[in-house]
């Protein structure tokens, strides 16, 4: 395990201490618990938006707490869910009478603990909480039919949901309206990833799986969940083609659509490679007659030192476009 760390058991809390030292203008914590992260810029009367999930995915999840996006984040251990108490404490702190919206990824532990936190907030503090669970990884399950539960994992595309819901809340829309927008955004995002190397949970000390030196794992999740297939590494353009073949027909994204595109490095993949990928996505979407409104290229949702990347497409209409374009400022996301 080649990591720049101290004791593995202190990994998350020391990372958080560094974050609070570096970004006091954006973030602080509540309930004397480093893992109950909240905004330093609470806005009176605004709907609060709370997220959370396991550590090891920076900038996800906490990196989007700030102006125009989220108000709080419940920070779990590496790849572990935060506790119901943490959810409750963050909820209490960010609520200012307008209620709280939870937006988090589709993982069982998170659902369980956020639901328990919401119950505590309702029972003990009479805070109204609504929830939107984001799950947009096309490689992780078949699409849900009408009325069926969504079994897809939430990955990098959740950032688009944060952005639009956050902008709506910043416009002082009410909880029902912010929830409607979050649901609409979540319904219009699709993501797929590819991994070239595994990653190591510090307290475990070795990777939970391997990917051969000349292989890649198409469709792998950000905790190393199995994807669609493992195979020889192919040229960047061929990898992008295979991913778009799966993403494009899913909503579907079709000629005349307008989208935002996120190319997300999983942790160890250089920006150079992410832009080589961007080049081919741009070419392919032009061929398909799909207009790109905005690109986001960089690290948005990682798996520590995993090499690989994901592509997210986000289908826009006028309402989502305006919300996406609104200014925002967090430690990891700045848009003028």
Active site residues: 57, 223
Minimum distance from CB of 174 to a second copy (Å)? 28
The 292-321 site mask, x for binding a second copy (CB under 8 A), equals ---x-xxx--x-xx-xxx------------
| Helix intervals (H) in the chain | 11-22, 84-94, 108-125, 158-170, 175-187, 236-247, 271-288, 318-325
Q: Tell me the three state secondary structure of residue 256.
A: coil
Contact flag: residue 268 with a second copy (CB under 8 A): yes
Q: Which of 119, 237, 241, 258 binds a second copy (CB under 8 A)?
A: 237
Terminal Cα distance for the chain, rounded: 39
Binders of a second copy in range 59-88 (CB under 8 A): 59
The token pair that represents 284 in the structure block = 């392919």
Contact flag: residue 279 with a second copy (CB under 8 A): yes
Minimum distance from CB of 129 to a second copy (Å)? 29
Q: Per-residue DSSP letters for 8-54?
A: GGGHHHHHHHHHHHH-TTTEEESTT-TTEEEESS--TTPPEEEEEEE
Cα–Cα distance measured from residue 325 to residue 307, given in angstroms and rounded to the nearest whole number:
30
Q: Per-residue DSSP letters for 284-324?
A: HHHHHTPEEEEEEEE-SS--TTB-EEEEEEEE--HHHHHHH
Beta carbon nearer to a second copy, 109 or 295: 295
Minimum distance from CB of 165 to a second copy (Å)? 21
The sign of the dihedral angle between the CA atoms of 217, 221, 226, 229 is: negative
Beta carbon nearer to a second copy, 111 or 276: 276
Residue with tokens 């963050």: 90
Q: Which of 73, 196, 220, 323 binds a second copy (CB under 8 A)?
A: 196
Cα–Cα distance measured from residue 39 to residue 24, given in angstroms and rounded to the nearest whole number:
9
The burial class, CB within 10 Å (0-12 / 13-18 / 19+), for 196 is buried
Total residues contacting a second copy (rule CB under 8 A)?
59
Contact flag: residue 272 with a second copy (CB under 8 A): yes
Contact flag: residue 287 with a second copy (CB under 8 A): no
Contact flag: residue 11 with a second copy (CB under 8 A): yes
Binders of a second copy in range 198-217 (CB under 8 A): 213-214
Contact flag: residue 176 with a second copy (CB under 8 A): no
Which residues make up the interface to a second copy (CB under 8 A)?
2-7, 11, 14-19, 21-23, 55-56, 58-59, 194, 196-197, 213-214, 233, 235-237, 239, 267-279, 282, 295, 297-299, 302, 304-305, 307-309, 329, 332, 334-336
């Amino acid at each position: 395990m080649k990591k720049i760390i101290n004791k593995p058991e202190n990994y998350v809390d020391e990372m958080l201490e560094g974050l609070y030292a570096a970004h006091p203008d954006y973030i602080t914590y509540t309930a004397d618990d480093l893992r109950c992260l909240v905004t330093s810029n609470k806005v009176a009367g605004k709907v609060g938006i709370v997220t959370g999930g396991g550590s090891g995915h920076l900038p996800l999840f906490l990196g989007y707490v700030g102006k125009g996006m989220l108000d709080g984040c419940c920070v779990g251990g590496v790849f572990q869910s935060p506790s119901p108490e943490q959810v409750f404490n963050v909820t209490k702190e960010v609520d200012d009478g307008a209620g709280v919206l939870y937006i988090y990824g589709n993982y069982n532990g998170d659902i369980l603990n956020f639901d328990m936190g919401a119950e505590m907030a309702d029972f003990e503090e009479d805070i109204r909480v609504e929830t939107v669970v984001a799950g947009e990884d096309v490689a992780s399950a078949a699409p849900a039919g009408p009325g069926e539960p969504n079994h897809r994992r939430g990955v990098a595309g959740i950032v688009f949901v944060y952005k639009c819901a956050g902008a709506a809340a910043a416009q002082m829309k009410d909880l029902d309206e912010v929830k409607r927008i979050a649901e609409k955004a979540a319904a219009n995002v699709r993501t797929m990833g590819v991994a070239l190397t595994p990653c190591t949970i510090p307290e475990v000390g070795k990777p939970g799986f391997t990917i051969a030196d000349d292989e890649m794992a198409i469709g792998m999740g950000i905790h190393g969940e199995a994807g669609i297939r493992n195979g020889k590494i192919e040229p960047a353009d061929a990898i992008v083609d295979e991913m778009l073949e799966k993403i494009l027909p899913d909503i579907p994204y079709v000629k005349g659509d307008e989208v935002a595109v996120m190319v997300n490095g999983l942790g160890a993949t250089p920006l150079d490679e992410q832009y080589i990928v961007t080049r081919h996505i741009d070419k392919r979407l032009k061929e398909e007659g799909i207009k790109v409104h905005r690109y986001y290229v960089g690290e948005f949702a990682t798996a520590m030192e995993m090499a690989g990347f994901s592509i997210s497409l986000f289908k826009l209409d006028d309402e989502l476009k305006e919300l996406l374009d609104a200014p925002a400022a967090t430690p990891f996301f700045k848009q003028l």
